[in-house]
Chain A
Amino acid sequence: MAEPAREWSDEQLKSDDLPKKDLIKFLQDNAAHSFLNEHKLLGNIKNVAKTAKKEQLVIAYNQLFESKRFKGTDPVEDVTEQVKAVKVEEKPKEVKAEVVDEGPPKYTKAVLKKGDKTNFPKKGDTVSCWYTGSLEDGTVFDTNIPAGAKKKKQSKPLSFKVGLGKVIRGWDEALLTMSKGETARLEIEPEWAYGKKGVPDSKIPPNAKLIFEVELVSVD
């Protein structure tokens, strides 16, 4: 396997002309899964761009060529154990130790920002969330976060009573495990989202796995 070429020189890397997204894309395309995981570069490019600083990305880029941990250099077993959203052809069956009534939970949660770990919502509590929902291919189908940081003050987060089946099951289950202030990335299987039908009017195809980044703003 030929080593990928160095696309950019040091000056180009440092320059503002090179957007973070391009760097991230390059890294995601060429680096081994474990490398990406260690450097927190997995997932939706937009989300990674939000959390990663340019300097970090440049460092990662240089480290990649030093360590030569390109795609295909990971042992196979490691790759299958990873849970993050690299395109997987076949969904591995998740067999968890604790079995809930109808089987294992059909969603996964990765905490992006910790909450206060004290205020957890109970069934029937009113919660408020900012969220962005996207499909596996990265298309954003819904968000209530207004463009422009300032505007969040004038908009209101989505409020509803949690745990009562008003929202898709993935949300109901996940939010009960989140604490106030927590931001998490949820990957919800279609069975706990919109299933076979999808929601064509909202651009959600049938059997779609949905990815939400949710911030639990308040619990009442």
Chain B
Amino acid sequence: MLRTSLNWQQSKMSSTMNYSISLLRKREIKRETPEEDLKPEDYQQFRDVGAACLSGGDGQQLLKFIQDEKNQGIVKSMGCGLLAPLVDELVRNKKSHDHCQAAFTQLIMTCSSRTLLDSFLELIEDMDPGAISETILVLLPHLQTVLLQLDDNRAAGVGLALSALHKQLSRLPVPYTQQQEEADEHGLCCCCVALATFTRPFIDGVKKKDENCNPTPEDDELKTEILKFCMLSLKEPLLEAELNRDRKSTLWRFAVEIMIILAAIKESLPGLLFFSSLRKFTRMDTNLFQESAACLAYLLFVQLIAIDTFPAVFNPVFILQCNMEHINQLLSRKKESHLLKGLALFAKSLEKVEDNSLPVGLLDLESFYSAPQNLRQVLTDCPIQHLRESGLKVFQLFINKLDAEAKHKFFRCMLKTSHHAGVEGYIVNNIRRQIQSSIKSEANKWFLGTELLPLLELVLSLPQAAETDLLTNMDKIMESLNLLRYLLMRDKELKSDADVWEALCRIKDEYLKMLRVCVSMSRAYYSVEMKALKEEQKLKAKEVKEQARSTRLLKTITVKHDNVSHMSPEVQYQVLQSALVTFDLMESLVVRIDEITEEKQAKPH
């Protein structure tokens, strides 16, 4: 048995190596197929010897050994074990660069491509997480050579290599700012570009076959593997990255490369984006690639990469319809990188369509329902202000593109489902503007006449009747009162349909009655709160005075109202005060509406 406890500091490499080799050679002479006879320990031993050589600074010797004609048998059987130590050495030690590279080259010439590939794949899987980009950059050129040497199953080999490499690459953080990207601290950017370069000979090979019109199933398989790599890359890192055509960063160039690759393997962009040619993948992959397709849509339509290769014959409404799925995908994630892209794609797709043109039928499509709902959620929940601001612009743009019936349906939907006074208020404002334009220009049956009534019922309603919290619902209530005031001023136009006017008045009266009750109840409650707060302050002041006089430690002052706390009394007071002001404001508007009603009634028709 080989001695496992070898003392490297004392013995020279050559003697140790030779000792191991002679033992192996003895076995080789005895057997016809020495590889079969080699045990795992032997492989491990060989590997350990090699590793020690390198770390001990004897790399030159190792190279000589590998290059020696006499040792080719051994090298062929066990050389692959040296790949990992060589890569390690190349990553850590710049000085041993030349002979390590030469050793690599020799191993690749000598060993079987299949075994080499297996070793590479293992190497990739086990690579040091702290040196991912350095390791990848070291092994890429050699891996490429090995794959090009493979005669059969090359496509599968390429596929495995690409997905293993990508998996490691996706562990690296994606740079977020321009400075981060330029610094490329973790090497993600240059690795991406290196990977794209790595694929080129395989793509060129496939292209040539296409030109000579004799592609084989193997070629098709290779195209599929490359397509998979593109889709993986679109998702990570491109979807996370900030890509801007005005600033052609490294990742931008990578995005352009991916588009070039897609064209080279003859993947049609309409196929990928519109007609789900992703069907060629398994269902699991198709789900994974939804995000990739969304990123692709963004790169094409917003960043205009390869837009000149995209057919200019599609109907803009059709494009919007197809993109809505991608938009929905992007808006459903809570990441800034995704939302930014989703909003931009949404805006761009809407801009291509004429105002007032989208028919109501579209709103029945799942994506047309979900995307605006996701958008609404951005408006109400997203903590990032610039996203809320852009979101609001897109929201209004969407409304503008709907035709009258679709607007009507959308407004009803939002009033019923948003449960957010800010959004509701915004919708009510839109309703008023639609009525306004209906009156001024084209009479539109959806915003005048009987169709208006169901909409008004939703607008002029208090969610919890008399117990509605007026403060949280303030935005909606104020807009609703404004709308009511407007309607009353325009009574001439609206009175043309007597039934509608009567119904409108009934709705108005019920609403105002309820609102008055609500206001007075709220005012009473807050007044009580305010009084109690004042009392409490007085009490506290008194107790502080007494404490100053006496030496006794007083117990903690009881807090009478524990619901408004965590705010200082001054702030609490301000809150209560502004609440009361709000109620006054609402009431004054109600009073004004009553005045207008009376004025109109007093006037002769």
Flag B17-31 by CB within 8 Å of A: 1 or 0 each: 000000000000000
Assess the B313–A171 pair: CB atoms within 8 A.
yes
A166 and B314 CA atoms in complex are apart in Å by 6
Q: Residues on B close to A: CB < 8 A? A: 210-211, 213, 266, 268, 270, 275, 301, 304, 307-308, 310-318, 351-352, 354
| 6 residue pairs, one from A and one from B, having the closest CB atoms | A202-B312, A142-B312, A166-B318, A154-B210, A167-B313, A201-B307
A212 and B318 CA atoms in complex are apart in Å by 20
Chain A contacts for B317, CB-based, 8 A = 165
Chain B contacts for A212, CB-based, 8 A = 313
Q: Which of A171-220 contact B (CB under 8 A)?
A: 171, 194-197, 199, 201-202, 204, 212
Task: Contacts A151-B211, A153-B213, A154-B213 given; indicate if A199 touches B318 (C-beta within 8 A).
Answer: no
Chain A contacts for B210, CB-based, 8 A = 154
Task: Contacts A201-B304, A201-B307 given; indicate if A165 touches B354 (C-beta within 8 A).
Answer: no
A156 and B263 CA atoms in complex are apart in Å by 12
Task: Contacts A155-B266, A195-B354 given; indicate if A202 touches B315 (C-beta within 8 A).
Answer: no
Q: Is A144 an interface residue (CB 8 A)?
A: yes
Task: Contacts A153-B213, A156-B266 given; indicate if A199 touches B352 (C-beta within 8 A).
Answer: yes
> Can you add 15 more A-B contacts, CB < 8 Å, to A144-B311, A195-B354?
A131-B313, A142-B313, A153-B213, A154-B211, A154-B266, A156-B266, A165-B317, A165-B318, A167-B313, A168-B313, A168-B314, A171-B313, A199-B312, A202-B308, A202-B312
**B215 and chain A: residue at smallest CB distance:** A154
Q: Is A158 an interface residue (CB 8 A)?
A: yes
Flag A157-171 by CB within 8 Å of B: 1 or 0 each: 010100001111101
From B268, B301, B313, A133 is in contact (CB under 8 Å) with B313
**B348 and chain A: residue at smallest CB distance:** A201
Question: What are 10 inter-chain pairs, A to B, with CB distance below 8 A?
Answer: A131-B313, A142-B313, A150-B211, A154-B210, A154-B211, A158-B270, A160-B275, A165-B317, A196-B354, A197-B351
Q: Is A141 an interface residue (CB 8 A)?
A: yes
A153 and B211 CA atoms in complex are apart in Å by 8
Chain B contacts for A154, CB-based, 8 A = 210-211, 213, 266
Chain B contacts for A153, CB-based, 8 A = 213
Chain B contacts for A150, CB-based, 8 A = 211
A-B contact count (CB 8 A): 57
Assess the A194–B316 pair: CB atoms within 8 A.
yes
Chain B contacts for A195, CB-based, 8 A = 354
Assess the A158–B354 pair: CB atoms within 8 A.
no
Chain A contacts for B301, CB-based, 8 A = 201
Chain B contacts for A196, CB-based, 8 A = 354
A156 and B313 CA atoms in complex are apart in Å by 16
Assess the B315–A197 pair: CB atoms within 8 A.
no
A197 → chain B, closest Cβ, in Å? 6
A71 → chain B, closest Cβ, in Å? 34
From A131, A156, A201, A204, B268 is in contact (CB under 8 Å) with A156
Assess the A197–B318 pair: CB atoms within 8 A.
no
**A193 and chain B: residue at smallest CB distance:** B313
**A170 and chain B: residue at smallest CB distance:** B313
Which of A141, A151, A160, A166 has its CB near the most chain B CB atoms (within 10 A)? A166
**A212 and chain B: residue at smallest CB distance:** B313
Chain A contacts for B308, CB-based, 8 A = 202
B357 → chain A, closest Cβ, in Å? 10
**A167 and chain B: residue at smallest CB distance:** B313
A196 and B351 CA atoms in complex are apart in Å by 12
Task: Contacts A153-B213, A154-B210 given; indicate if A197 touches B314 (C-beta within 8 A).
Answer: no
A156 → chain B, closest Cβ, in Å? 7
B242 → chain A, closest Cβ, in Å? 21
Chain B contacts for A160, CB-based, 8 A = 270, 275
Chain B contacts for A168, CB-based, 8 A = 313-315
**A204 and chain B: residue at smallest CB distance:** B312
Chain A contacts for B270, CB-based, 8 A = 158, 160
Flag A34-53 by CB within 8 Å of B: 1 or 0 each: 00000000000000000000
Chain A contacts for B318, CB-based, 8 A = 165-167
Assess the A202–B310 pair: CB atoms within 8 A.
yes
Chain A contacts for B311, CB-based, 8 A = 142, 144, 158
A129 and B266 CA atoms in complex are apart in Å by 17
Chain A contacts for B304, CB-based, 8 A = 201
A201 and B348 CA atoms in complex are apart in Å by 11
A92 → chain B, closest Cβ, in Å? 26
A171 and B315 CA atoms in complex are apart in Å by 10
Chain A contacts for B213, CB-based, 8 A = 153-154
Which of B312, B315, B317, B318 has its CB near the most chain A CB atoms (within 10 A)? B312
Chain A contacts for B313, CB-based, 8 A = 131, 133, 142, 158, 167-168, 171, 212
A170 → chain B, closest Cβ, in Å? 9
A204 and B275 CA atoms in complex are apart in Å by 24
Which of B266, B275, B315, B352 has its CB near the most chain A CB atoms (within 10 A)? B315
A156 and B275 CA atoms in complex are apart in Å by 15
A141 and B315 CA atoms in complex are apart in Å by 16
Assess the B312–A141 pair: CB atoms within 8 A.
yes
A212 and B313 CA atoms in complex are apart in Å by 10
Task: Contacts A151-B211, A153-B213, A202-B308 given; indicate if A166 touches B315 (C-beta within 8 A).
Answer: yes
A212 and B311 CA atoms in complex are apart in Å by 12
Assess the B268–A197 pair: CB atoms within 8 A.
no
Q: Which of A59-93 contact B (CB under 8 A)?
A: none
A175 and B310 CA atoms in complex are apart in Å by 20
A136 → chain B, closest Cβ, in Å? 15
Task: Contacts A133-B312, A156-B268, A165-B318 given; indicate if A197 touches B354 (C-beta within 8 A).
Answer: yes
Chain A contacts for B315, CB-based, 8 A = 165-169
Chain B contacts for A202, CB-based, 8 A = 307-308, 310, 312
**A169 and chain B: residue at smallest CB distance:** B315
Chain B contacts for A171, CB-based, 8 A = 313
Flag A112-151 by CB within 8 Å of B: 1 or 0 each: 0000000000000000000101000000011010000011
Chain B contacts for A141, CB-based, 8 A = 312
Chain A contacts for B211, CB-based, 8 A = 150-151, 154
B301 → chain A, closest Cβ, in Å? 8
B324 → chain A, closest Cβ, in Å? 14
A17 and B118 CA atoms in complex are apart in Å by 61
B300 → chain A, closest Cβ, in Å? 10
B358 → chain A, closest Cβ, in Å? 12
A144 and B310 CA atoms in complex are apart in Å by 9
**A197 and chain B: residue at smallest CB distance:** B352
**B357 and chain A: residue at smallest CB distance:** A195
A79 and B318 CA atoms in complex are apart in Å by 39
Which of B301, B307, B314, B351 has its CB near the most chain A CB atoms (within 10 A)? B314
B34 → chain A, closest Cβ, in Å? 48
A8 → chain B, closest Cβ, in Å? 37
B347 → chain A, closest Cβ, in Å? 14
A45 and B269 CA atoms in complex are apart in Å by 31
Chain A contacts for B266, CB-based, 8 A = 154-156
B372 → chain A, closest Cβ, in Å? 22
A23 and B270 CA atoms in complex are apart in Å by 40
A167 and B268 CA atoms in complex are apart in Å by 16
Assess the B314–A167 pair: CB atoms within 8 A.
yes
A10 → chain B, closest Cβ, in Å? 42
**B310 and chain A: residue at smallest CB distance:** A202
Which of A155, A202, A212 has its CB near the most chain B CB atoms (within 10 A)? A202
